[in-house]
Amino acid sequence: MSLIKLLVRHPHWWKSKTPDQNQAHQALDSLLKDEEVQRFLQVNRHEGTLWFNRESFEELLFWLMLIAVVDFASDPLLSAARIVEEIEDRYAMLQRFQEAEKKSDYQLEKLFAAF
């Protein structure tokens, strides 16, 4: 239920309020400000450090990609070429999330610093 709630709250998670900024960083920052996302990722503080669960993070990335694909594929105004382009862009963004995760040691501060 938690996953459904957070996906409904962030149907266009990739959209940035200021497109000239680092879009991937802003998307991740926006997601992690949501308490539902934090709960899903099992964010916890231990000895002054905020940690997250690797498996939950990877599951979240899968579902974020899925809702992006469904969103673009269901838009009748987009051409097939544009749909593919948009999906590739979202995939590239999620790859940046994964690269940051690998450098993070599952610490939120390091996750953000990897951008």
For 58-69, what is each residue's pLDDT tens digit? 999 999 999 999
pLDDT at residue 19, as a whole number:
63
Range with the lowest mean pLDDT among 17-26, 35-44, 66-75? 17-26
Mean pLDDT of the chain: 93
Bridge partner list, 12 = none
Bridge partner list, 3 = none
Mean pLDDT, residues 60-79: 97
pTM assigned to the model: 0.91
Cα–Cα distance, 80 to 77 (Å, whole number) = 10
Could you count the other beta carbons within 10 Å of the beta carbon of residue 64?
A: 21
Please give the C-alpha separations between residue 101 and each of 43, 50, 52, 109, in angstroms, as whole numbers. Answer: 14, 14, 10, 11
Question: Based on C-alpha coordinates, what's the Rg of the chain?
Answer: 14
Mean pLDDT, residues 47-73: 97
Cα–Cα distance, 26 to 46 (Å, whole number) = 25
Three-state secondary structure call for residue 50: strand
- For 58, the token pair is 């990877």
pLDDT at residue 1, as a whole number:
85
